[in-house]
């Protein structure tokens, strides 16, 4: 009996697509609005979407305009035990509904205000249920804090790889060394310094990393997106993500007409910074009014897209992949299991091998040809890059749209109806274990965060002024939290 059980475990571990993944994908596809069920749609075919935490550490120690946190966010105490406990609950529900693998953001206020051990334990709890966690930060912390997070009590790495997304833009106030930056270029040394910490982490402790660079875009810095793209492409960031500002959160920090910044305007400037068109129509996450995305290989400054919608052979290869392999999990799997998964997948559909080889050849050609790719690889000038624009919605539309959706009513108002369509196809969800529901991120930030933070003020009140925690259990993070309060 034990042998039979082990054989079943082996078969499941090497099956190309886990049955729980298949169920989650089918459910995701069924729930999408009809307008989102397009050939290029990845939700429900190979991905369930991204996930994020909420109500765990809303406090931040920078003041930004705009700021998506509610007015009460900085009146909640940072508490490591609360974060670990609540994130564990949220991730359990996500595992139950969305299957054994997804990317999840450890997000709230500023993640580096968490005590290092709590930060580490939270990441481990996320990984324990198949989540690939990404810590969302403004990047204003030291290498010592990073080591305290990544290394365990014995000084050994607790992870083989970590993912961090650092937010840098000139709208942020309070960064050490750049309290009130006057331009995006002024932040380049801080962007480089942040990335260097992870180069050092790899060198010192053999821990790999995935780094994303985030930037909020308003009319003030829209025309600087081109140069930011050009500058950050020279740095070791794997993803560049831009977010046109939306009217969400603390309205005291809304200083401009954000409607002037469109997803098209941002993408045009990204392409100008990259020095070439960036094809994005071959794949879609959620609603095209919300997200724009492309992934490819950067070969010595030249971007070779993985897929181009203008190339019919690329689209045919995409469709084959999504049909036969959508939902295959490649990350955080033992090499032997991954190898057997790939072999089983190829043996199941051997006719797919020539089109996939053809796709790889076209990618190499876009990169300048095999010789150029090999020359660049020898010099360390080959890397994967992802460009993303996330276009969030204003709370003014989200609130009534969500209220009607809760009643099962489709709005007659064109703007509210559009908002409902976008919410229905949202790629980014938050988990509510108390109700067993997942909600779109825009709903979380526009509708639920303000209510949650009022409750958190009672659950986790700030310490009275004049009292200082001993630091026996929380160490350096307590000092950071204290500094956060003073800087705010």
Q: Is the pLDDT of residue 317 over 60?
A: yes
Give whole-number Cα distances, 154 to 147, 150, 151, 157, 162, in Å.
12, 11, 8, 9, 18
Q: What is the pLDDT of residue 482?
A: 39
What the block records as the tokens of 315 is 């689209």
Q: What is the pLDDT of residue 471?
A: 32
User: What mean pLDDT comes out for the span 118-129?
Assistant: 98
In a domain, 370, yes or no: no
Taking the C-alpha atoms of residue 458 and residue 393, their distance in angstroms, rounded to an integer, is 29
Range of the domain at 218: 47-301+384-487
Taking the C-alpha atoms of residue 233 and residue 244, their distance in angstroms, rounded to an integer, is 20
Number of domains the chain is built from: 1
Taking the C-alpha atoms of residue 228 and residue 92, their distance in angstroms, rounded to an integer, is 38
Q: Is the pLDDT of residue 261 over 80?
A: yes
CATH of the domain at 129: 3.20.20
Q: What is the pLDDT of residue 465?
A: 55
User: What mean pLDDT comes out for the span 264-270?
Assistant: 97
Nearest Cα to Cα of residue 249 among 444, 426, 432, 400: 444
In a domain, 138, yes or no: yes
Give whole-number Cα distances, 175 to 16, 296, 403, in Å.
46, 32, 38
In a domain, 78, yes or no: yes
Q: What are 133-152's pLDDT values in tens digits? A: 999 999 999 999 999 999 99
What the block records as the tokens of 314 is 């690329």
At residue 303, the 3 state secondary structure works out as: strand
Q: What is the pLDDT of residue 463?
A: 76
In a domain, 121, yes or no: yes
Q: What is the pLDDT of residue 3?
A: 85
Give whole-number Cα distances, 351 to 83, 321, 327, 356, 396, in Å.
48, 12, 19, 10, 51
Q: What is the pLDDT of residue 425?
A: 97
In a domain, 366, yes or no: no
Q: What is the pLDDT of residue 1?
A: 58
Taking the C-alpha atoms of residue 251 and residue 249, their distance in angstroms, rounded to an integer, is 6
Q: What are 425-474's pLDDT values in tens digits? A: 999 999 999 999 999 999 999 999 999 999 999 999 997 654 433 332 33
Residue 484 or residue 405, greater confidence: 405
pLDDT above 90 coverage of the chain, percent: 85
Q: What are 99-119's pLDDT values in tens digits? A: 999 999 999 999 999 999 999
Sheet holding 131-137, edge to edge: 302-305, 291-299, 382-390, 239-244, 208-217, 161-167, 131-137, 102-106, 50-52, 428-432, 437-440
Q: Residue 383: beta bridge partners?
A: 298
69 — pLDDT class (breaks 50, 70, 90):
confident
Q: What is the mean pLDDT of the chain?
A: 92
User: What mean pLDDT comes out for the span 45-61?
Assistant: 96
Q: What is the pLDDT of residue 455?
A: 94
What the block records as the tokens of 184 is 């995006």
Residue 83 or residue 478, greater confidence: 83
In a domain, 378, yes or no: no
477 — pLDDT class (breaks 50, 70, 90):
very low
333 — pLDDT class (breaks 50, 70, 90):
confident
User: What mean pLDDT comes out for the span 379-402?
Assistant: 96
In a domain, 455, yes or no: yes
Residue 346 CB burial class (10 angstroms; 0-12, 13-18, ≥19): middle
In a domain, 464, yes or no: yes
Q: What is the pLDDT of residue 467?
A: 41
**Do 216 and 62 contact (CB within 8 A), yes or no?**
no
At residue 437, the 3 state secondary structure works out as: strand
User: What mean pLDDT comes out for the span 117-128?
Assistant: 98
Least confident of 20-24, 160-164, 250-254, 339-343: 250-254
Q: Is the pLDDT of residue 11 over 60?
A: yes
Give the pTM: 0.92
- Tell me the residue length of the chain: 488
């Amino acid at each position: 009996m034990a042998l039979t059980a082990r054989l079943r475990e082996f078969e499941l571990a090497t099956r190309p697509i886990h049955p729980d993944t298949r169920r989650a994908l089918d459910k995701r596809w069924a729930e999408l609005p009809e307008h989102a069920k397009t050939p290029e749609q990845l939700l429900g075919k190979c991905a369930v979407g991204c996930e994020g935490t909420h109500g765990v550490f809303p406090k931040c120690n920078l003041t930004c305009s705009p700021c998506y946190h509610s007015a009460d966010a900085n009146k909640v105490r940072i508490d490591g035990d609360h974060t670990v406990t609540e994130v564990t609950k949220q991730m359990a529900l996500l595992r139950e509904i969305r299957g054994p693998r997804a990317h999840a953001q450890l997000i709230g206020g500023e993640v580096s205000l968490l005590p290092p051990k709590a930060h580490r334990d939270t990441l481990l709890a996320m990984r324990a249920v198949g989540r690939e966690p990404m810590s969302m930060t403004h990047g204003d912390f030291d290498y010592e804090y990073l080591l305290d997070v990544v290394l365990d009590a014995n000084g050994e790495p607790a992870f083989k790889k970590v993912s961090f997304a650092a937010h840098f833009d000139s709208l942020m106030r309070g960064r050490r060394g750049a309290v009130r930056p006057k331009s995006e270029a002024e932040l380049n040394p801080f962007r480089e310094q942040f990335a260097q910490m992870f180069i050092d982490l790899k060198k010192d402790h053999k821990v790999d990393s995935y780094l994303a660079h985030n930037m909020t875009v308003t009319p003030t810095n829209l025309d600087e997106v081109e140069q930011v793209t050009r500058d950050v492409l020279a740095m070791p960031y794997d993803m560049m993500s831009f977010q046109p500002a939306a009217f969400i959160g603390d309205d005291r920090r809304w200083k401009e007409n954000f409607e002037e910044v469109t997803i098209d305007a941002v993408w045009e400037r990204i392409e100008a910074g990259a020095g070439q068109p960036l094809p994005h129509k071959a794949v879609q996450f959620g609603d095209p009014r919300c997200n724009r995305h492309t992934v490819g290989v950067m070969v010595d400054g030249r971007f070779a897209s993985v897929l181009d919608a203008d190339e019919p052979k690329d689209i045919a290869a995409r469709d084959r992949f999504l049909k036969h392999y959508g939902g295959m999990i490649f990350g955080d799997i033992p090499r032997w299991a991954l190898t057997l998964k790939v072999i089983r997948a190829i043996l199941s559909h051997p006719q797919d091998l020539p089109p996939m080889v053809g796709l790889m050849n076209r990618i190499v050609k876009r990169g300048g040809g095999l010789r150029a790719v090999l020359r660049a690889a020898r010099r360390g000038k080959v890397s994967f890059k992802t460009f993303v624009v996330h276009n969030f919605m204003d709370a003014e539309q989200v609130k009534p749209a969500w209220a009607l959706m809760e009643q099962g009513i489709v709005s007659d108002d064109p703007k509210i109806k559009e908002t409902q369509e976008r919410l229905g196809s949202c790629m980014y969800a938050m988990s509510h274990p108390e109700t067993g529901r997942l909600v779109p991120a825009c709903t979380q930030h526009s509708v639920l965060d303000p209510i949650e933070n009022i409750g958190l003020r009672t659950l986790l009140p700030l310490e009275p002024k004049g009292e200082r925690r001993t630091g026996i259990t929380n160490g350096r993070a307590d000092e950071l939290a204290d500094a956060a309060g003073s800087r705010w």
